[in-house]
Amino acid sequence: MRLLVTGGCGFIGSNFIRFFLDKYTDASVINVDKLTYAGNLQNLSDLSESPRYHFIRGDIADASRMEEVIREGVDAIVNFAAESHVDRSIEDPSAFMKTNIFGTFVLLEAVRKSFAVPKIRFLHISTDEVYGSLGETGTFTEETSLAPNSPYSASKGAADMMVRSYYHTYGLSVLITRCSNNYGPYQFPEKLIPLMVSNAMEDQELPIYGDGMYIRDWIYVEDHCRALDRVLRQGRDGEVYNVGGGSERTNLYVAKSILDRLGKPHSLIRYVADRPGHDRRYAIDFSKIERELGWKPTVSFEEGIDRTIEWYQIHREWWTKIKTGEYLDYYKRMYQDRQNHR
């Protein structure tokens, strides 16, 4: 299989590329990434000399470039490319509209115009955030209505609808996955778990929004990669598959667990003013992918956190280089502003 991966230098994309090439020795991957702040070539530096891996710096919103890449011949596309951080979407939604909505449209149009026989499979990576927020009970199913509450989740929901329309209107071979919160190696340190781990390792404060009781379903990234491979190979055209870890935890529990494992005091936790439109709880019903494709998560939250902490301890140079300059200034300012407005 000749696979085109978009956004492959990001967290989940880079883990998936490595997983895919390790599993399928006859496969090759073309990775197109714009290399925005969260795209890091170092995430795949071990593959730079592999004849089965080819990197192209490019923007999925560049129609002529994407049409050129796809015309060269691919069997499937996995679209990870997205602006993905809620805080940044609140600060400036424009980049999210361009990449997440228009970029997805450009890719779909390039596939439609390719006239590939057999059809190119198009796997679109979405998020459980498109469903909005849950109360204390219940779970998101594939039939749950979309009710996004942030510019980020709204842009992903719009992209999902675009993908769906190209199946029903043009007959493209498309699939959509909506996954719960990922964690693991190579995650950019603006996200909760790597931020908590890296700050704790440096004896810095761990900023927690609001009361810390926001609940997320956590999945180790390797389990997500296995699910994506299963959907890509066996999923039914036009279908949505929810992917979850079965590990609901509050943000406060996550922070305390990390501090305990690193032998750090809970006094490092600092409560900051809440994020606007913060969804209270996410929980995923992944019974469809388990029933139809035989997938279920295999890494427990406790095992996954241990693996993740160990990776960040070993790869300290990787994340310390990132947590400098513009990134550090941006988040120091944001958290300070929110603390001042409590």
Local structure of 254: helix, strand or coil? helix
Tell the residue number behind the tokens 């996004």, with chain if given: 148
Question: Looking at 53, 131, 152, 214, which residue is catalytic?
Answer: 152
Burial 292-329 (b: 16+ CB within 10 A, else e): ebebbbebebeebbebbbebbeeeeebbeebbeeeeee
Question: Looking at 33, 129, 217, 229, which residue is catalytic?
Answer: 129
Query: Is 83 considered catalytic here?
Result: no
Question: Looking at 33, 128, 217, 248, which residue is catalytic?
Answer: 128
Query: Is 166 considered catalytic here?
Result: no
* 98 residue type, one letter: K
What is the Cα 256 distance to its own chain's centre?
A: 24
Residue 166 and residue 106: Cα distance in Å, rounded? 12
Q: Is 216 exposed, middle or buried (0-12, 13-18, 19+ CB in 10 A)?
A: buried
Query: Is 290 considered catalytic here?
Result: no
- Are 275 and 217 a contacting pair, CB within 8 Å? no
Residue 57 and residue 116: Cα distance in Å, rounded? 24
Residue 282 and residue 274: Cα distance in Å, rounded? 17
Q: Is 145 exposed, middle or buried (0-12, 13-18, 19+ CB in 10 A)?
A: exposed
> In this structure, what token pair is assigned to residue 342?
């409590």
Closest CA to 225 of 310, 123, 83, 141: 123
**Residues with a known catalytic role:** 128-129, 152
